[in-house]
Amino acid sequence: MIRQPPAQEQHTVTDGPEQRSQPPQPPQQPKGAAPRLKLSAISKSFPGIKANDHIDLSINPGEIHALIGENGAGKSTLVKIVYGVLSADAGVIEWEGKPVTIASPTAARKLGIGMVFQHFSLFEALTVAENIALGLDDSGPIRALNQRITEISARYELPLQPDRHVSGLSVGEKQRIEIVRCLLQSPGLLIMDEPTSVLTPQEAKILFRTLRRLRDEGCAILFISHKLDEVRALCDRASILRHGKLVAACDPREETSGSMAEMMIGSSPVTPRRSSHEAGQKRLEIRDLTVPGQNNFDVSLSHINLELHGGEIVGIAGVAGNGQKELAMALTGEVRAPGREMVVINDEAVGHKGPRRRRRHGMAFVPEERLGQGAVPDMDLAENVLLTGYLRLGLVRYGSLRMQAARDLAADITGQFDVRCRGIQAQAGALSGGNLQKFIIGREIVQSPDVLIAAQPTWGVDSGAAAAIHQALFDLARRGTAILVISQDLDELMLISDRLAVLHEGKLSGAHPTHEFTIEEIGLLMGGADIGKARLAS
Amino acid sequence: MIMLERRRETSRVMKFASPLLALVLTVISGAALFGLLGFDPLEALYQFFIAPVMTSYGIAELLLKATPLILIGVGLAIGYRANVWNIGAEGQLIIGAIAGGAIGLALHGVDSVLVLPLMIAGGILGGMAWAAIPALLRTHFNASELLTSLMLTYVAELLLTWAVNGPLKDPDGFSFPESKMFHDSASMPLLLEGTRLHGGFLAALIVVLLGWFFISRSLPGYEVRVTGSAPHAARFAGFSQTVTIWMTLLAGGALAGLAGLFEVAGPVGQLVPKISPGYGFTAIIVAFLGRLHPVGILFAGLLVALSYLGGEMAQITLNMPLAVTGVFQGLLLFFLLGVDILLTHRIRIGHIKPRSAS
């Protein structure tokens, strides 16, 4: 039951989520049969926040049901309750018509609920089959398991070799391991948490075929995403969460991405504006950057060349695990380049220097991992300003910290970049992903860098925060900063970058103006085709 | 049903309340222990915690015993903040005592105000040198300082035995394995006449202040904290792990060496085969009991010193075995680490019943 539907919301459901539009019932679903999973008035509070507020949701067999909402809307909390990771404060969960208590993930799997998490939990040094065996409650002998893995992967177009080591696999393949692990238990409900965020467009299409096939066999699928185009292409129904409440349910095939975005955000989405730019002077030059992998699981970078000029945004696309992390580390100086001329900032060779010196020369970085790399989780925001601000912002005098100045700056950043938190004394770990990312980007921007390297700047961030981050990058470029964005989100790169290059297995394609590429071409480059062939294919 | 539920943020209240809670639990189980051993629990607790500080001499003894614990505790806390696990402070204390003590013996009879400062410098450098070995092994060979620093403690003990049996033995000492007594200029000045409390306690108070400033208000201290709590963030910020390891181990070694020198130039008065009842190890408990915060360590040092005195008192008046002191300290550490879970979790009592929607 939704209380107090917001007045401006046309799509608000007032009497349970089923009312607005009846999706066509799949044929496997006899009339009057109980839904596979039914949630009634699920509520869950954390200190200071109602993560789920009386949420009703039902998923039928043979249905792909989208759960969409901004980050922090309560999607993760809800699926964690369904998967037994969290327990609800109130509400009823019914599985095939019977009320159940799901006390743990093991209990969830026993019922027939499988979940593929956004972040995989795989052991790099073990084989595919060993990893799957570890994740099963009762795996049986490994040879029989190999057989079953091969069967399942053939049946659902999930090619996997059971005896390969995980360390050599692409992210897409790793995801397949997680999916196969779930499918081995013949789940009645499969939960997919942002599954396409790590895939190339082509890989995503294959995943959708697999999911449709599962649906046709009667499996219920809960598909969590904030990519609305995908939801429209794949899902039969969508439930939209906002601030912990179910605000709407709709048939995504009858909506536009815009109308769903509006339901999700509660207002029209803001599109970041970019004024035209002129390339300024050369700020960053990467010359023949070659860095051998630090260990067996790292990608070696080979012969990377790129120039960045003031005022431009250059995007580096690529499927995760193709050297993005290594490139970012080689640019920040966490890993030093073997040659000093390999990284040149403002005509100063800094390849052999660490992060401190590179920052002094005018670089700033937004790292891929927000918590634990970009911010110290158990320190408050003022202390986190110091993490990279200690060099350029006058926060340190004679080796002693000027905490008041750091607090003032933290307050400035939270105000200027709309970081929502309970004050600058909040620990970084308590901020939502989007807010923490706005804080980190703000912290780097207030240092007025000449070069900003941003890795995955909007990964897992809600669309409002993403728009704000893109706008901040545009504004920074307008002031003459050269910006390099390394991202797996192709839509983002197409939107914000002036030039684009693709990273594949540690090699970088040439950078060309973004408008000269089509999505398909980039997809091919991401898959390892060289640009000449990609051109021919199009 | 009693459940643990994760907190969104580390509890600030619990940061202060949990050591007190640990203390209360220790006292309760200690009382139960005394009861089981056949002692009157209340009487035993009185002997343990109250009787030692009923006289001014007792209080002076308390401060005396707390001095090395506080000094070493602050030094160790700096390392532990950075996840540098120096557990060999006992060895660094011994080497500091030998080095500083040797200077005092070499200058035997020299009546100058410079003798004691030279000995103090020797003590500090001795402790640092001993701590430099694990630092070198860690930064060059990635050998765990946890093992190397501990093993070096036993080497240090043997070195002391050799020194007092050999080069530093008092030639007029009837072949006892002891050095000469330090002369006046080589001894710590007393703070209170008629007691053994010496100027080292004031030094410990200054170290507490400096330690607080270093950890909370200085850039190197900030680097130490970041390195300990998010190593990846430290690398990202450009803080060198090598520098942190050296800095923290040397700081710990310096303060342990200083504590060792204070012991021999203070209450002990000479080099003997055993100069510390395990201060270097007990200081580990003190550091954690004080939440790795210098001011906390000041109070923790006093508390643990009280348990030493209390143990002795109970031994004398109630014939309680000496091992009880160790058990008591063990209980304290056990509860301390146990209640730490309350920092990040809360206890919820009650059963979650699925409730139908209203």
Q: Which of A90, A93, A373 sits opposite B236 (nearest CB)?
A: A373
- Measured in angstroms, the CA of B25 and the nearest CA of chain A are apart by 27
Q: Is B340 helix (H, G, I), strand (E, B) or coil?
A: coil
Q: What is the ipTM of this complex?
A: 0.82
Give yes or no for a contact between B56 and B195, defined as CB atoms under 8 angstroms apart.
yes
CB of B140 within 8 Å of a chain A CB? The answer is no
Mean pLDDT, residues A420-429 taken together: 86
CB of B236 within 8 Å of a chain A CB? The answer is yes
Residue A245: its chain B contacts at CB < 8 A? none
How crowded is the C-beta side of A317, counted as CA atoms within 13 Å? 35
Whether B148 is covered by a domain: the verdict is yes
Whether B131 is covered by a domain: the verdict is yes
Query: In terms of C-beta density within 10 A (0-12 exposed, 13-18 middle, 19 or more buried), how is residue B327 classed?
Result: middle
Q: Is the pLDDT of residue A61 over 60?
A: yes
Give yes or no for a contact between A137 and A150, defined as CB atoms under 8 angstroms apart.
no
Q: Is the pLDDT of residue A530 over 70?
A: no
**Which is nearest to A208 in space by CA: A228, A188, A223?**
A223
Give yes or no for a contact between B297 and B74, defined as CB atoms under 8 angstroms apart.
yes
Give yes or no for a contact between A466 and A403, defined as CB atoms under 8 angstroms apart.
no
CA atoms of A269 and A289, how far apart (whole Å): 40
Which pLDDT value is given to residue A14? Answer: 39
CA atoms of A441 and A419, how far apart (whole Å): 10
Whether B29 is covered by a domain: the verdict is no
Count the residues in chain A. 538
CB contact under 8 A, A399 and B226: no
Give yes or no for a contact between A39 and B357, defined as CB atoms under 8 angstroms apart.
no
CA atoms of A289 and A326, how far apart (whole Å): 11
CA atoms of A109 and A93, how far apart (whole Å): 15
Mean pLDDT, residues B10-23 taken together: 82
CB contact under 8 A, B218 and A354: no
A526 pLDDT band, cuts 50/70/90, is: confident
With a CB-CB cutoff of 8 Å, which residues 327-356 of chain B face chain A? 352, 354-356
Share of chain B above pLDDT 90, in %: 65
Which pLDDT value is given to residue A379? Answer: 93
CA atoms of B270 and B274, how far apart (whole Å): 11
Which pLDDT value is given to residue A4? Answer: 42
CB contact under 8 A, A376 and B220: no
CB contact under 8 A, A426 and B357: no
Which pLDDT value is given to residue A277? Answer: 65
With a CB-CB cutoff of 8 Å, which residues 408-447 of chain A face chain B? 426-427, 429-430
**Among the residues of B213-240, which ranges form H helices?**
219-229, 231-237
CB of B230 within 8 Å of a chain A CB? The answer is yes
Whether B125 is covered by a domain: the verdict is yes
Q: Which of A5-19, A109-123, B28-42, B145-159 has the highest mean pLDDT?
A: B145-159
Which pLDDT value is given to residue B175? Answer: 84
CA atoms of B61 and A66, how far apart (whole Å): 71
CB contact under 8 A, A355 and B236: yes
Choose, out of A329, A366, A373, the residue to mutate when testing the contact with B (most B CBs < 10 Å).
Answer: A373
CA nearest to A406 within chain B: B217
Which pLDDT value is given to residue B350? Answer: 64
Tell me which amino acid residue A357 is.
R
Domain that holds residue B172: 68-311
Tokens of A386: 């110091």
How many pairs of residues across A and B have Cβ atoms under 8 Å apart? 101
The answer to whether A37-112+187-265 and A271-362+450-463+477-538 have equal CATH topology is: yes
A59 φ/ψ angles, rounded to the nearest 5 degrees: -125, 130
CATH T-level assignment (fold) for domain A37-112+187-265: Rossmann fold (3.40.50)
Query: What confidence tens digit (pLDDT) does each residue in A488-511 have?
Result: 888 888 889 999 999 988 889 888
CA atoms of B110 and B126, how far apart (whole Å): 22
- How far are the Cα atoms of A115, A507, A531, B173 from residue B219, in angstroms, in the given order? 44, 39, 48, 51
The DSSP H or E segment spanning A64 is strand A64-69
CA atoms of A178 and A117, how far apart (whole Å): 8
**Which is nearest to B276 in space by CA: B60, B87, B94?**
B94
Tokens of A121: 């939990």
- Measured in angstroms, the CA of B286 and the nearest CA of chain A are apart by 23
**Which is nearest to A117 in space by CA: A51, A70, A186, A178?**
A178
Which pLDDT value is given to residue B330? Answer: 83
Residue A372: its chain B contacts at CB < 8 A? 230, 232-233
Tell me which amino acid residue B224 is.
V
Choose, out of A400, A403, A444, the residue to mutate when testing the contact with B (most B CBs < 10 Å).
Answer: A400
DSSP state at residue B189? P
CB of B229 within 8 Å of a chain A CB? The answer is yes
- Measured in angstroms, the CA of B18 and the nearest CA of chain A are apart by 18
Query: What confidence tens digit (pLDDT) does each residue in B94-140 have?
Result: 999 999 999 999 999 899 999 999 999 999 999 999 999 999 999 99
Give yes or no for a contact between A51 and A216, defined as CB atoms under 8 angstroms apart.
no
Residue B343: its chain A contacts at CB < 8 A? none
Total structural domains within chain B = 1
Which pLDDT value is given to residue A48? Answer: 67
Ranges of each domain in chain A:
37-112+187-265, 271-362+450-463+477-538, 372-448
- Measured in angstroms, the CA of A315 and the nearest CA of chain B are apart by 21
Choose, out of B8, B227, B292, the residue to mutate when testing the contact with A (most A CBs < 10 Å).
Answer: B8
Give bridge partners of residue A45 from the DSSP assignment.
Answer: A50
**Which is nearest to A29 in space by CA: A92, A97, A122, A131?**
A97
> What average pLDDT does chain A have?
83
CB contact under 8 A, A332 and B230: no
Whether B260 is covered by a domain: the verdict is yes
Query: What confidence tens digit (pLDDT) does each residue in B229-245 have?
Result: 999 999 999 999 999 99
Q: Which of A56, A101, A376 sits opposite B229 (nearest CB)?
A: A376
B312 pLDDT band, cuts 50/70/90, is: confident
CB of B142 within 8 Å of a chain A CB? The answer is no
- How far are the Cα atoms of A276, A319, A493, A500, A536 from residue A513, in angstroms, in the given order? 14, 20, 11, 6, 18
Residues 6+ apart with CB under 8 A from A380: A410, A424, A425, A426, A427, A428
CB contact under 8 A, B230 and A403: no
Q: Which of B7, B10, B356 sits opposite A92 (nearest CB)?
A: B356
Count the residues in chain B. 358
CA atoms of A293 and A11, how far apart (whole Å): 51
Q: Which of A48, A49, A91 sits opposite B357 (nearest CB)?
A: A91
Query: What confidence tens digit (pLDDT) does each residue in B274-284 have?
Result: 999 999 999 99
Query: What confidence tens digit (pLDDT) does each residue in A325-364 have?
Result: 899 999 999 888 888 899 999 989 999 999 999 999 999 9
CA nearest to B352 within chain A: A89
Residue for token pair 């004031």: B202
Which of A526-529's residues contact partners 24+ apart within 8 Å by CB, and which partners? A526/A200, A526/A317, A526/A318, A526/A319, A526/A322, A526/A502, A527/A200, A527/A202, A527/A319, A528/A504
Give bridge partners of residue A221 from the DSSP assignment.
Answer: A64, A190
Residues 6+ apart with CB under 8 A from B175: B169
Residue B7: its chain A contacts at CB < 8 A? 47
Q: Is the pLDDT of residue A76 over 60?
A: yes
CA nearest to A45 within chain B: B8
A24 pLDDT band, cuts 50/70/90, is: very low
> What average pLDDT does chain B have?
90
Whether B117 is covered by a domain: the verdict is yes
Which pLDDT value is given to residue A384? Answer: 94
CA atoms of A274 and A154, how far apart (whole Å): 47
User: Euclidean distance between the first and final Cα of chain B, in Å?
Assistant: 25
CA nearest to A429 within chain B: B9
CB of B222 within 8 Å of a chain A CB? The answer is yes
Q: Which residue has the higher pLDDT, A46 or A271?
A: A46
Whether B263 is covered by a domain: the verdict is yes
A12 pLDDT band, cuts 50/70/90, is: very low
Query: What confidence tens digit (pLDDT) does each residue in A309-318 have?
Result: 999 999 999 8
Which pLDDT value is given to residue A185? Answer: 85
With a CB-CB cutoff of 8 Å, which residues 370-399 of chain A face chain B? 372-379, 383, 386-388, 390, 396, 399
CB contact under 8 A, A355 and B213: no
Residue B8: its chain A contacts at CB < 8 A? 46-49, 430
Residue A41: its chain B contacts at CB < 8 A? 356-358
Mean pLDDT, residues A274-291 taken together: 82
Give yes or no for a contact between A162 and A149, defined as CB atoms under 8 angstroms apart.
yes
Residue B352: its chain A contacts at CB < 8 A? 87-89
Residue A101: its chain B contacts at CB < 8 A? 354
How many other CB atoms are found less than 10 A from the CB of residue A282? Answer: 15
Which pLDDT value is given to residue B182? Answer: 94
How many other CB atoms are found less than 10 A from the CB of residue A269? Answer: 15
Residue B358: its chain A contacts at CB < 8 A? 41
Give yes or no for a contact between B90 and B284, defined as CB atoms under 8 angstroms apart.
no
> CATH number of the domain at A271-362+450-463+477-538, please?
3.40.50.300
How crowded is the C-beta side of A467, counted as CA atoms within 13 Å? 11
Choose, out of A381, A387, A424, A435, the residue to mutate when testing the contact with B (most B CBs < 10 Å).
Answer: A387
Give yes or no for a contact between A262 and A248, defined as CB atoms under 8 angstroms apart.
no
- Measured in angstroms, the CA of A374 and the nearest CA of chain B are apart by 6
CB of A136 within 8 Å of a chain B CB? The answer is no
- Measured in angstroms, the CA of A355 and the nearest CA of chain B are apart by 5
CA atoms of B60 and B194, how far apart (whole Å): 10
Which pLDDT value is given to residue A205? Answer: 85
Q: Which of A41, A88, A359 sits opposite B238 (nearest CB)?
A: A359
Q: Is the pLDDT of residue A301 over 60?
A: yes
Tokens of B88: 């060999």
Largest CA distance in chain A: 76
Residue for token pair 């080589």: B186
Query: What confidence tens digit (pLDDT) does each residue in A368-385 have?
Result: 888 889 999 989 999 999
CATH number at residue B95: 1.10.3470
Query: What confidence tens digit (pLDDT) does each residue in B173-218 have?
Result: 888 899 999 999 999 999 988 899 999 999 999 999 999 999 999 9
Q: Which residue has the higher pLDDT, B53 or A464?
A: B53
CB of A1 within 8 Å of a chain B CB? The answer is yes
Whether B28 is covered by a domain: the verdict is no
CB contact under 8 A, B9 and A426: yes
Report helix angle A381-389 to A433-445, nearest 10.
Answer: 40
CB of B240 within 8 Å of a chain A CB? The answer is yes
